[in-house]
Each structure stands twice: as C-alpha cells, then as structure tokens.
Chain A
Amino acid sequence: KNEVEQSPQNLTAQEGEFITINCSYSVGISALHWLQQHPGGGIVSLFMLSSGKKKHGRLIATINIQEKHSSLHITASHPRDSAVYICAGTIQGGSEKLVFGKGTKLTVNP
C-alpha cells in the first residue's frame, strides 16, 4: 500500500464544474503539498499546508490532520486547469523528504 493515496486517478469534467481531488496518507508528515504538473513535465507548487484550509484564486486546499486526509478543490473549472495534480507529504524527521501520490490526471473539456 502506498504511503500517499490519491483518488480519482483520472477525472474528466466539463468547463465550469466544481472539482474535488482527494488525498489520504498513512505516514507521519509535517506538511502536505499539492502540486501541479503540466504535459511538459515541470511541476509547480500550489499549496503547502499543515492545518486547516488555504485558498488561492479558484483553488482551495483543506487538510484534516486527525483523519490524515486532504482535498484539493477547483471551482468554476476551465480547460487551462487540465494537468496532473499531485499530493505529497513532507516526512517528519528533519530531512524535508517528500513522499508522493501517483497523481490525478484532470481533463476539463470546453
């Protein structure tokens, strides 16, 4: 079993839909990251959170420490949101190492 599990693996939506991607983890982490990877491969960090909720534009990330669960929400989705979204956790212990989920491929159709 992977230490970080994401669902769904693939997600297709129509423009304007509200989207939720889920992440569960089974290891001790000091922070949870949501990353975005576009087809070219480069990765952009969207959020880093250790509690509560963060919002940036149409993106919202939440984390429930007790349940070891995080969600990424996209409101009013747009075709330019199409990408792979990756959940990752910083392993506790001071090395700042990340453990990654396998990613969720999101396709938003016009």
Chain B
Amino acid sequence: DGGITQSPKYLFRKEGQNVTLSCEQNLNHDAMYWYRQDPGQGLRLIYYSQIVNDFQKGDIAEGYSVSREKKESFPLTVTSAQKNPTAFYLCASVWAGEKYGYTFGSGTRLTVV
C-alpha cells in the first residue's frame, strides 16, 4: 500500500545534539512538507520541497535543515541551533496541482532533554 513512513515514532535526544527525522513516501508525489505541532497551536510549516534537489523555507525554518536528493525521501535535521526543539513533527506529501489531497505521515515526537 502507498503511504508515508516517518521514523522513529518517538525520539529522545540530549540538548546540543543534532537529530535527523526520516520521511519516505512511495506515492510518487512531487511535493513534500515538514510541519511542527505544539500544544494549543496549529501546525506550522518548517520546510517544503516541490521537486528533487530544491526546497524552500517555511514560516519557522530557523534551526532546521532538509535535503531532497530523491523524490521519495525528505529528511529533516533538527540542529542544536533550534531553541525549542521538543515538539511533534509531521511530514506530508501531495501531487503537484493537488488534485487528490494530501497524505500525512504518523509523525515523530521529539523530546530534547
């Protein structure tokens, strides 16, 4: 079955360490997105990519980095520069032109201690 796989589901890291969250899709979707969710807030866009080897900053990109070397993969690195990294991170993908709606991953809950 097609879908988005995010791993791991739970991740714990010490303050000051970089950590990479995985997002893989087998839907042949063109565009991929990373969102952050904090309690009581709507999801906010971190980075997005509409084609391979190209990506754009979202509303809260500071302290994060991404790559898009393959169409099916869009990993997110949370760097030590991110001041408040503990959050729930969601990956999503969609066809260009958005004819059929988005597909979301199951999320990664990152806790930095």
Contacts and interface: CB of A to CB of B under 8 A. Distances in A.
Interface of A: 2, 4, 30-31, 33, 35, 40-45, 48, 86, 88, 90, 95-103
A35 B35 CA distance: 14
Contacts of A44: 104
Given A86-B42, A102-B42, A43 B48 contact: no
A98 B104 contact: no
B2 interface: no
Contact of A33 (B44, B101, B105, B106): B101
Contacts of A88: 43
B40 A102 contact: yes
Interface of B: 31, 33, 35, 37, 40-45, 48, 50, 56, 58, 88, 90, 92, 94, 96, 98, 100-107, 109
29 contacts: A2-B42, A4-B42, A30-B98, A31-B98, A33-B102, A35-B104, A40-B107, A41-B37, A41-B107, A42-B105, A42-B107, A45-B103, A48-B98, A86-B43, A90-B98, A95-B50, A96-B48, A96-B50, A96-B94, A96-B98, A97-B58, A98-B35, A98-B43, A98-B45, A98-B102, A100-B35, A100-B42, A101-B42, A103-B42
